[in-house]
Structure 1
């Protein structure tokens, strides 16, 4: 009887202890989730605040003339080249080289490369870019780097099949009466796509020498030149001498593109000569 009374007297205390323990656990779990929510909210507020500060700083720098990089007006003042969308590796890569030169001269910030550069696309090139922007979305377009832009740009406007054709043309290139500066320009344009084929200066000289007509090669020895520039300059000097020989009547000028009538006359005269023989 006495034992039963003692247990009854302590039962409420034990019960309160159990209740307090359970309540403590519940509060602890609630506080943990509540703290996480507070942390996330604070982080979001801080990020928004930092973004606003950066925007305000950029606006202030633009007004004070201390903006990082160059403005679009300054960029356009350098007359950046326009690209119309020719599927031609030579024209395409020359545009990239020229536009990157403007980036460098104007100290353009890398974050503005895509926005400023794509502003110079016209015609089919602009149609391609508009379609590209729709595919990847506005957010991805804003975050795109210049290298990320160039990869699909070159794939579309400078396809491998066309580059392979340029390599074949380079190997078969021969001077047929063109002036040295003209044939040299064609040679250098195609050479840009033959890095795997032409790996050193000696090979450049070899291909350039073989490309020249016989009236140049007969007075040149490729092994005596150390750079491509040297053999090009020698070819120019030879061209001047050939012009003087033509003026003196010592050599006949070569007609690069004879007219059809002239071709027919030449063929006819050859036939008559053969008949007489």
Structure 2
């Protein structure tokens, strides 16, 4: 009885299947350490650039902190009745929190304004209405401080 050769190499397709699956399994096994290394490096880069583990703030640029990160530093509130010394103390405390949380320049006023309460919040809401929301929140940190000083530390 003669056997029929079904492939050019002299073996049947079933003979080759285990070899291919073994090759694929070996390639996957060889690739996994590289993938783990790349993922770990990506996480480390995100942490170094100010992002958190929720997927915000990475992508290689310094986007600053999230509001959640800022609030986790427990920033002090300012009510507007603490006087000049209280305002200056609030500035010192807030600048420390902004630094520790790695807050970006374009978020400092936005995040700090969230800590205004009572009379100070009413004053800020008037600023937002007068200037427009975008202009008010785009003030530099120094300009924001000057406005607060003008309001709460008037020259007599």
RMSD: 1.9
Q: Distance in 2 between matches of 1:65 and 1:133?
A: 27
Unaligned runs of 5+ in 1: 1-61, 162-277
| Contact in 1 for aligned 2:57/2:63 (Cα 8 Å) | no
Query: Is the counterpart of residue 97 in structure 1 residue 92 in structure 2?
Result: yes
Paired residue secondary structure (1:144): coil
Tell me which stretches of 4 or more aligned residues in structure 1 moved more than 6 Å: none
- Residue 78 of structure 1 corresponds to 73
Asked if the contact 1:87/1:158 (under 8 Å) is kept, the reply is no
Contact 1:84–1:121 (CA<8 Å) still a contact in 2? Answer: yes
Cα 1:65–1:156 shift into 2, 3 Å: closer
User: In 1, distance between residues paired with 2:57 and 2:123?
Assistant: 35
User: 1:64/1:98 Cα in 2 relative to 1: closer, same or farther (>3 Å)?
Assistant: closer
CA distance in 1, matches of 2:56, 2:65: 13
State yes or no: 1:147 paired with 2:115: no
Q: Tell me the distance in 2 between the aligned counterparts of 1:141 and 1:120.
A: 15
Name the counterpart of 1:131.
126
Asked which structure has the greater CA Rg, the reply is 1
Specify which structure has the higher proportion of helix.
1
What is the Cα deviation at residue 64 of structure 1?
Answer: 5.3
How many angstroms does 1:142 deviate by?
Answer: 3.2
- TM-score of the superposed pair, with normalisation by structure 2: 0.60
Task: Decide whether the 8 Å contact of 1:88 with 1:157 is kept in 2.
Answer: yes
Secondary structure of 1:121's partner?
A: coil
Change in CA separation of 1:111 and 1:64 when aligned onto 2, cut-off 3 Å: closer
Q: Partner of 2:76: helix, strand, or coil? A: coil
Distance 1:86 1:139, change over 3 A: same
- Give the number of equivalent residue pairs: 101
After superposition, where does 1:116-127 map in structure 2 within 5 Å?
116-127=111-122
Question: Is the contact between residue 83 and residue 153 of structure 2 (CA under 8 Å) also seen in structure 1?
Answer: yes
Greater RCO, 1 or 2 (C-alpha within 8 Å, sep 6+): 2
- Aligned-partner SS, 1:81: coil
Over 3 Å counting, the alpha-carbon distance change for 1:69 and 1:152 in structure 2 is: same
3-state SS in 2 of match to 1:160: coil
Rounded to whole Å, the distance in 2 between the matches of 1:111 and 1:84 is: 23
Q: Offset of 1:139 from its aligned partner? A: 2.6
Unaligned runs of 5+ in 2: 1-53
